[in-house]
Structure 1
């Protein structure tokens, strides 16, 4: 079956049908809308609540709860984003559906504290509401666009089975409740993989809008590192110079992580094959988890005494989060289309990130240096490698300037 061709005809009614977008086939530019930016704000709150809870219990049990709560939030954002990429309209219905999704995410933010304990039912109900709405939207898209129907049917099968498990979990006590959550998330995350053949017949995803959407969400989660650094200093009634220095170092780490993602990933588009788009999209999950974890660990670290010996679990989680972010960025870099006059080396650049991540992980494993300030300095030295490489290749290759590769 050949790829469907067509145009996105403008609609003028106040309540519009979802119609597939063909702008990428026509070479048209799409940009992120104000509505999408507003939609992202409710995720800021939900992520902040989950990160704050993790910072208060920075151990392996807390890490498990953190992942269990944050993955559903990320998946709701992915669902809303992909639907809007396919079927965005200018009608009132688009705003209504966005707002209803925000209500669900707002509920998740409300119940995130103790979301695996006394608020687990509220968390589950909020998730069911948000994902149930997104499932309905995809079915609605398939109803009005027969070419999309094979995809929407496969989506809905996995999503509805997941929602059944989440609904059953309301009456199941822990830990059985969480096995149902895990099973439901596995079904949902697997559903897009069953549509590879069918999606190959659909219009391509926007190379102008999609990378920008993911980049904006990455900005949101990077903000947790800034919040963590500043809130950690503010938690001291009379912060010492060393505490302020520690906060500044944690803030610098967030800056270096921003530099690494946006110089190496966000400025380029993923290769257009459906399989690659899914790999690129899913690779943002460990990236997001690790960046938010760095923010939570920064809060925990800076709120403590600068020269106190770090708890082994805190040190290891901090190191693993930074290393994970660097390795996820390395993988994402391998999913990108080659750019004209690309200044970075296709093999050296990802390997530098993996190497830097390995060094950071080694610091966490050996427990040296023991103090928080010393540990941060060593992590920063490793994290600085990739921004330094980015600046070096940029300024030694003037032809890259004309292509606008440098995001700063």
Structure 2
């Protein structure tokens, strides 16, 4: 990449002040030292509010025994949160100019996320999606303007791809009007259909020409978002313990849940970041599967935190569910997280017995559901043992490979 072209895309995250306006040319997929910018980190922070709102709503639904409503409502709301983040992150990976206009447009998108967050409770509890829809309007007016700007700066197939994105995003936003007009019974089905259409827009747009998203940058962005989700999980668990302590509940009932929850969260972090996944993102085909699959990774990680809070509420008699159901609120999303991370990238770097560690751990975590008040602690121990097993197996295999190489 020439110094001139490099200067066109660098900004304050790279040690330079933002220019008033640059041509929005595609960044180089092979660009070295590509990392998340301060603006991207700032953008991620607004999602803390939205994820927290979804978690609180899920806790209330599960604690009251409304399992079906809680799971379906959470699945819809979390998709709205995750997809808003996805729309920005993949565009930014390909077209981040970091000039004044780009920054202002991104800040407008952030305002839309905050509006979305304000409507999460209404959408979850009463299927009132008006505020969420308006938040998306704000975000998407900004996003469509970004794609149109990219199209005006491009030529040929690259321009067609950008214009397809602009059209597809706008058309889907019109389709979401059904959430405001249809009866409540039809809204889940509309949501499912529109979610599928949303997922198809990038695949349709990039059939013309692939955007130049950066593998290392995308992998880093996903990792940073997971850290935010795990942070929300720790916050939810801490809030549950604080409430229990405020009501003078015995620590003996809380410590196993708190300790097991921390082990699950710490293990979730370790398991995810043990693999240099950017090496696997070699094409749109693998990237789409990997990127879309993270809906389950992020969603299950956040749901695990909500489940820990539910388990704490059940232990102090504030939840109207059985001990086994409360344990399942932790073990089921934790097991889903383990399996999904294994499917998406851990298995690509494992050999031999290492391939079986995460699936076996997921089964062990599910089995802990029936261990009564010790369920969360035992699930945490199982998750931690999977980390120990993974590190041990990797060390043995590396030593064997080194020995064979020198033989």
* TM-score class, shorter: 0.7 to 0.9
In 2, the alpha carbon distance for the partners of 1:153 and 1:325 equals 36
Task: Give the equivalent residue in structure 1 for 2:15.
Answer: none
CA 1:335–1:185 in 2, change beyond 3 Å: closer, same or farther?
A: farther
CA contact (8 A) 1:8 1:19 kept: no
Query: 2:191, 2:97 → 1: CA distance?
Result: 33
2:262 to 248, 251, 254: 251
- Superposition pairs of residues 252-401 of structure 1, within 5 angstroms: 252-264=263-275, 268-305=278-315, 310-333=322-345, 345-346=350-351, 348-364=353-369, 368-369=370-371, 371-372=372-373, 374-396=374-396
**TM-superposed deviation, 1:136:** 3.1
Q: Is the CA contact 2:94–2:214 (under 8 Å) kept in the aligned structure 1?
A: no
Partner residue in 1 for 2:39: 35
Deviations for 1:187-246, whole angstroms, at most 9, x for unmatched residues? 11112222454344x54x323322111100000111122112211110112242221342
Contact 2:51 2:229 in 1 (8 A): yes
Given that residues 259 and 377 in structure 2 are in contact (C-alpha distance below 8 angstroms), is that contact kept between their aligned partners in structure 1?
A: no
* Aligned counterpart, 2:14: none
Q: Distance in 2 between matches of 1:158 and 1:346?
A: 41
Pairs within 5 Å for 1:216-231: 216-231=224-239
Describe the shift of the 1:323–1:60 C-alpha distance in structure 2 as closer, same or farther (beyond 3 A). Answer: same
Give the TM-score of the pair, scaled to structure 1.
0.84
SS at match of 1:224: helix
Equivalent residue for 1:65, pick from 69, 73, 78:
73
- 1:335 Cα shift? 7.7
1:334-356 deviation line (CA, Å, top 9, x unaligned): 685xxxxxxx6345434321221
Structure 1 residues 245-294: Cα deviation after superposition (integer angstroms, max 9, x where no partner): 4222212211111111111366x532312211111111111101100110
- Give the CA RMSD over aligned residues: 2.7
What CA distance in whole angstroms lies between the structure 1 residues aligned with 2:127 and 2:296? 27
Match of 1:80 among 71, 74, 88: 88
Cα separation, partners in 2 of 1:37 and 1:360, compared to 1, 3 Å: same
Is this contact kept in 2: 1:165–1:183, CA < 8 A? no
Separation of aligned partners in 2, 1:54 and 1:127: 22
Asked if 1:126 is matched to 2:135, the reply is: yes
Aligned length: 379
- Sort the Cα spacing of 1:245 and 1:323 in 2 relative to 1 into closer, same or farther, 3 A: closer
CA distance in 2 between partners of 1:44 and 1:330 (Å): 26
Aligned residue number for residue 105 of structure 2: 97
Give deviations 1:106-138, integer Å, cap 9, x for gaps.
011111112242742112211232234323322
From 158, 161, 178, the equivalent of 2:171 is 161
Q: What is the alpha-carbon distance in structure 2 between the residues aligned to residue 168 and residue 397 of structure 1? A: 55
Q: Secondary structure at the match of 1:279?
A: helix
Listed as ranges, the gaps of 5+ residues in structure 2 are: 10-17, 401-407
Task: Report the Cα distance in structure 1 between the residues aligned to 2:268 and 2:209, rounded to whole angstroms.
Answer: 33
In 2, distance between residues paired with 1:89 and 1:314?
Answer: 47
Shift of 1:89: 1.2
Asked if structure 1 preserves the Cα contact closer than 8 Å seen for 2:310 and 2:329, the reply is: no
Paired residues of 2:55 and 2:302 also in contact (CA < 8 A): yes
3-state SS in 2 of match to 1:32: coil
Partner-residue secondary structure (3-state), 1:69: helix
Q: Does the C-alpha gap of structure 1 residues 113 and 355 become closer, same or farther in structure 2, counting only changes over 3 Å?
A: same
Contact persistence 1:207–1:269 (CA under 8 A): yes
Q: In structure 1, what is the equivalent of residue 152 of structure 2?
A: 143
Residues 167-246 of structure 1 mapped to structure 2, 5 A cutoff: 167-200=177-210, 202-203=211-212, 205-236=213-244, 237=246, 238-242=248-252, 243-246=254-257
Q: Is the 8 A contact 1:163 1:184 kept in 2?
A: no
Q: 1:197 to 1:168 in 2, by over 3 A?
A: closer
Structure 2 Cα separation of the partners of residues 33 and 46 of structure 1? 21
Q: 1:303 to 1:265 in 2, by over 3 A?
A: farther
Task: State the alpha-carbon separation in 1 of the partners of residues 259 and 377 from structure 2.
Answer: 11
Structure having the higher helix fraction is 2
Q: CA deviation at 1:398?
A: 6.8
Task: Determine the structure 2 residue equivalent to 1:340.
Answer: none
Give the TM-score taking structure 2 as reference length. Answer: 0.85
Aligned 8 A contact 2:119 2:132 in 1: yes
Structure 1 stretches of 5 or more lacking a match?
1-5, 337-343, 401-408
